[in-house]
Structures are given as structure tokens and as C-alpha cells.
Amino acid sequence: MKLIIGLGNPGNKYKKTRHNIGFMVIDEITTNFQFPIFNFKSIFNAEISKKILKNQKIILVKPQTFMNNSGRAVKAIIDYYKITTEDIIVIHDDIDLNLGEIKMQKNRSSAGHNGVQSIIDSIGTKDFTRIRIGIKPINKEISIDTEKFVLQKFTKEEEIVQKTIEKAAALVVAAL
């Protein structure tokens, strides 16, 4: 059984924002591989969708706890399904990577990402796979307030983001 978690914030206010790229990748996987419609499970405070893919049970997750408390939902799901950390993939935005850049890494610190840190704190380890998706501004000379920037929607100039979401979704499925 594999647990694939996209990080983001719940609600229409945050839909299509940079911080929700994890949710966007999960939605891309859902569409491309015909996962069932997501159901909200209050026991986890998360939306989940399950399917057998590549001969194994896959659980897609969109925590509804807000980014900085993602670990609560992840811990509840891990405990309920008895999932090991080696079977977890977390997908999230990364302000330190250029827009369009994707990195898959394992057993790394949060590097200041509050959603990832919440998961590390909740499950007691950083030994899980992460798909980091770059959202660094195109114009690197502009001084930005990171908290405001990640909560903004992608601009027309950042159209590369759709191809990045597609590549990240393919990378996740290939890693199964």
C-alpha cells in the first residue's frame, strides 16, 4: 500500500495558489489514472481517494488541516492503515527551486517548509520520499515576502506550471 500526499490549503480561496501545487499534482494523478472522486473523511480530516494501480493499493490524500498542520492528517492515516514511512510520498511546493524544477528526495529536512515540518514532527521521522516542485519567482531580483508569495495564484507568465504538474504526476506514478 502506498500513501501519496499532496500538500495545500483547503477552500476555494487557496485553489490554484503556489502553495497548493501538491493538491494540483494529486488532482492530475486522479484525472490521468481515473481515481474515484475524493471523499472527505473526518477521522483523518482529509480528502482521500483509493484505487489499485500497478498491482498495489494507492491512497491519494489532500489534508484539510491547512498546510502548517498537515502532519495531523498524515499521522492519523498512517496509524489507521499501518503504513510504513517507506511507502509515503509527499508532494509540495519549494520556494528554493526554480519554477518548473522538480526534485525527488528521501530522508531530508524540511528546509523551512512548515507543512513538511509538521509531518516530520507528527510521525517522528524525515525518512519518507518527497517530490519538491519549484515555485521560485521568474524575476529573482524582486524581493518577496515568502508567506504572501506562496498564497498567490500563478500568473500567465508562469504557464510552465501546467507542464510541471504533469511531469510531477508522471514521476510519482513511475516511482510506485
Domain CATH code at residue 119: 3.40.50.1470
Could you read off the pLDDT of 97-134 as tens digits, one per residue?
Answer: 999 999 999 999 998 899 999 999 999 999 999 999 99
Could you read off the pLDDT of 1-51 as tens digits, one per residue?
Answer: 999 999 999 999 999 999 999 999 999 999 999 999 999 999 999 999 999
Which one of the listed residues 2, 9, 18, 19 is annotated catalytic?
19
φ/ψ of 123, rounded to 5, equals -100, -10
Q: For the chain, percent helix, then strand, then coil, each to nearest 5?
A: 40, 30, 30
In the numeric block, which cell numbers belong to residue 119? 509531518
3-state secondary structure (DSSP) of residue 57: strand
Under a CB-based contact definition with an 8 Å cutoff, are residues 137 and 161 in contact? no
Question: Can 19 be counted among the known catalytic residues?
Answer: yes
In the numeric block, which cell numbers belong to residue 63? 489534508
| Domain boundaries, position 15 | 2-174
Q: Judge residue 131's burial from the number of C-beta atoms within 10 Å of its C-beta, 0-12 exposed, 13-18 middle, 19 or more buried.
A: buried
* Domains in the chain, number: 1
pTM beyond cutoff 0.75: yes
